[in-house]
Amino acid sequence: MKRVTGIGGIFFKCQDTKSMKDWYGKHLGFNIDDYGTSFEWRQADDGNKQAFSVWSPFDKNTKYFEPSHKDFMMNYRVENLEWLLEELKKEGVEILDEIESLEYGKFAHILDPEGNKIQLWEAFDEEYDKMVEARTK
Protein backbone atom coordinates (compact mmCIF):
# COMPACT_ATOMS: atom_id res chain seq x y z
CA MET A 1 0.00 0.00 0.00
CA LYS A 2 1.18 3.52 -0.77
CA ARG A 3 2.15 5.85 2.06
CA VAL A 4 2.46 9.43 0.79
CA THR A 5 0.86 10.07 -2.58
CA GLY A 6 1.69 13.76 -3.02
CA ILE A 7 1.98 17.21 -1.53
CA GLY A 8 -1.26 18.21 0.14
CA GLY A 9 -0.27 21.69 1.12
CA ILE A 10 2.26 24.21 2.28
CA PHE A 11 1.50 26.25 5.38
CA PHE A 12 3.73 28.99 6.73
CA LYS A 13 3.74 31.77 9.31
CA CYS A 14 3.94 35.41 8.28
CA GLN A 15 3.68 38.89 9.76
CA ASP A 16 0.56 39.94 7.84
CA THR A 17 -1.57 37.24 6.22
CA LYS A 18 -3.76 39.69 4.29
CA SER A 19 -0.77 41.47 2.74
CA MET A 20 0.87 38.16 1.93
CA LYS A 21 -2.26 36.83 0.22
CA ASP A 22 -2.66 40.12 -1.66
CA TRP A 23 0.96 39.99 -2.85
CA TYR A 24 0.68 36.40 -4.10
CA GLY A 25 -2.63 37.20 -5.78
CA LYS A 26 -1.30 40.30 -7.53
CA HIS A 27 2.19 39.14 -8.50
CA LEU A 28 1.82 35.38 -8.93
CA GLY A 29 -1.84 35.19 -9.92
CA PHE A 30 -3.04 33.08 -7.00
CA ASN A 31 -6.84 32.89 -6.81
CA ILE A 32 -7.05 33.87 -3.13
CA ASP A 33 -9.84 33.21 -0.64
CA ASP A 34 -9.95 33.61 3.17
CA TYR A 35 -7.69 30.57 3.65
CA GLY A 36 -5.20 30.97 0.83
CA THR A 37 -5.60 29.09 -2.43
CA SER A 38 -5.94 25.59 -3.83
CA PHE A 39 -4.25 24.12 -6.87
CA GLU A 40 -6.20 21.51 -8.78
CA TRP A 41 -4.40 18.70 -10.53
CA ARG A 42 -5.18 15.23 -11.89
CA GLN A 43 -4.12 12.05 -10.17
CA ALA A 44 -1.34 10.18 -11.95
CA ASP A 45 -2.96 6.74 -11.68
CA ASP A 46 -6.35 8.02 -12.89
CA GLY A 47 -6.34 11.21 -14.94
CA ASN A 48 -10.11 11.52 -14.59
CA LYS A 49 -9.83 12.08 -10.83
CA GLN A 50 -9.10 15.57 -9.61
CA ALA A 51 -7.01 16.35 -6.56
CA PHE A 52 -5.90 19.48 -4.72
CA SER A 53 -2.89 20.99 -3.01
CA VAL A 54 -3.38 23.89 -0.60
CA TRP A 55 -1.27 27.02 -0.01
CA SER A 56 -2.07 28.92 3.17
CA PRO A 57 -0.32 31.64 5.19
CA PHE A 58 -0.89 31.63 8.96
CA ASP A 59 -0.52 34.40 11.49
CA LYS A 60 2.99 34.57 12.98
CA ASN A 61 1.52 33.82 16.46
CA THR A 62 -0.42 30.72 15.48
CA LYS A 63 -0.18 27.78 17.85
CA TYR A 64 -1.33 25.39 15.11
CA PHE A 65 2.21 24.31 14.21
CA GLU A 66 3.10 23.37 17.81
CA PRO A 67 4.87 21.49 19.25
CA SER A 68 7.17 22.41 16.35
CA HIS A 69 8.97 25.74 16.64
CA LYS A 70 9.30 26.03 12.86
CA ASP A 71 7.59 28.68 10.76
CA PHE A 72 6.14 26.16 8.32
CA MET A 73 4.23 22.91 8.19
CA MET A 74 3.99 20.52 5.30
CA ASN A 75 0.86 18.57 4.48
CA TYR A 76 1.22 15.26 2.67
CA ARG A 77 -1.60 13.42 0.96
CA VAL A 78 -1.92 9.78 1.96
CA GLU A 79 -3.93 6.88 0.64
CA ASN A 80 -5.08 5.21 3.88
CA LEU A 81 -4.49 7.23 7.03
CA GLU A 82 -5.52 4.56 9.55
CA TRP A 83 -3.18 1.98 8.05
CA LEU A 84 -0.31 4.46 7.74
CA LEU A 85 -0.59 5.60 11.37
CA GLU A 86 -0.45 1.98 12.54
CA GLU A 87 2.70 1.43 10.49
CA LEU A 88 4.28 4.63 11.77
CA LYS A 89 3.51 3.63 15.39
CA LYS A 90 5.28 0.31 14.82
CA GLU A 91 8.28 2.22 13.44
CA GLY A 92 8.49 4.51 16.46
CA VAL A 93 7.35 7.72 14.74
CA GLU A 94 5.92 10.32 17.14
CA ILE A 95 2.21 10.68 16.44
CA LEU A 96 0.79 13.86 17.93
CA ASP A 97 -2.96 13.30 17.86
CA GLU A 98 -5.89 11.11 16.92
CA ILE A 99 -7.42 11.16 13.46
CA GLU A 100 -9.72 14.12 12.87
CA SER A 101 -12.44 13.53 10.27
CA LEU A 102 -13.89 16.48 8.39
CA GLU A 103 -16.18 16.61 5.39
CA TYR A 104 -13.22 16.91 2.99
CA GLY A 105 -10.82 14.40 4.55
CA LYS A 106 -9.11 12.82 7.51
CA PHE A 107 -6.12 14.40 9.24
CA ALA A 108 -3.43 13.49 11.74
CA HIS A 109 -0.09 15.02 12.72
CA ILE A 110 3.37 13.55 13.27
CA LEU A 111 6.86 14.92 13.99
CA ASP A 112 9.95 14.20 11.95
CA PRO A 113 13.36 13.71 13.66
CA GLU A 114 14.10 17.47 13.59
CA GLY A 115 10.79 18.49 15.16
CA ASN A 116 8.97 19.52 11.97
CA LYS A 117 5.24 19.02 12.36
CA ILE A 118 3.77 17.16 9.41
CA GLN A 119 0.09 16.98 8.62
CA LEU A 120 -1.11 13.79 6.94
CA TRP A 121 -4.28 14.16 4.87
CA GLU A 122 -6.47 11.44 3.40
CA ALA A 123 -8.38 13.72 1.05
CA PHE A 124 -11.98 13.45 -0.05
CA ASP A 125 -11.33 15.45 -3.21
CA GLU A 126 -14.93 15.68 -4.44
CA GLU A 127 -16.03 17.13 -1.10
CA TYR A 128 -13.02 19.47 -1.03
CA ASP A 129 -13.95 20.77 -4.48
CA LYS A 130 -17.48 21.56 -3.27
CA MET A 131 -16.11 23.37 -0.23
CA VAL A 132 -13.72 25.50 -2.32
CA GLU A 133 -16.51 26.35 -4.76
CA ALA A 134 -18.75 27.49 -1.91
CA ARG A 135 -15.98 29.68 -0.44
CA THR A 136 -15.29 31.46 -3.70
CA LYS A 137 -18.89 32.34 -4.59
Range in 2-6, 15-19, 64-68, 74-78 the model is least confident about: 2-6
The pLDDT assigned to 137 comes to: 62
pTM to 2 decimal places:
0.87
Local confidence band at 135 (pLDDT 50, 70, 90 cut-offs): low
Residues constituting the chain: 137
**Averaged pLDDT for residues 58-77:** 96
Q: Which residue has the higher pLDDT, 52 or 71?
A: 71
Query: pLDDT tier at 136 (50, 70, 90 boundaries)?
Result: low
Q: What is the pLDDT of residues 121-131, one digit of tens each?
A: 999 877 776 76
Alpha-helical runs (H) found in the chain: 17-28, 81-90, 125-135
User: Residue 25's domain is classified under what CATH number?
Assistant: 3.10.180.10
Kindly indicate the confidence band of residue 11, based on its pLDDT and cuts at 50, 70 and 90. very high
DSSP helix/strand/coil, 96: coil
Cβ contacts of 4 within 8 Å, gap of 6 or more: 76, 77, 78, 120
| Greatest Cα pair distance in the chain | 46
Q: Which residues contact 77 (CB under 8 A, 6 or more apart)?
A: 4, 5, 6, 7, 8, 51, 53, 121, 122, 123
Mean pLDDT of the chain: 92
Is residue 44 classed exposed, middle or buried when 0-12, 13-18 and 19+ CB atoms within 10 A define those classes?
A: exposed
Indicate the number of domains in the chain.
1
**Domain range for 23:** 4-135
What is the tens place of the pLDDT at every residue in 26-50?
999 999 999 999 998 887 777 788 8
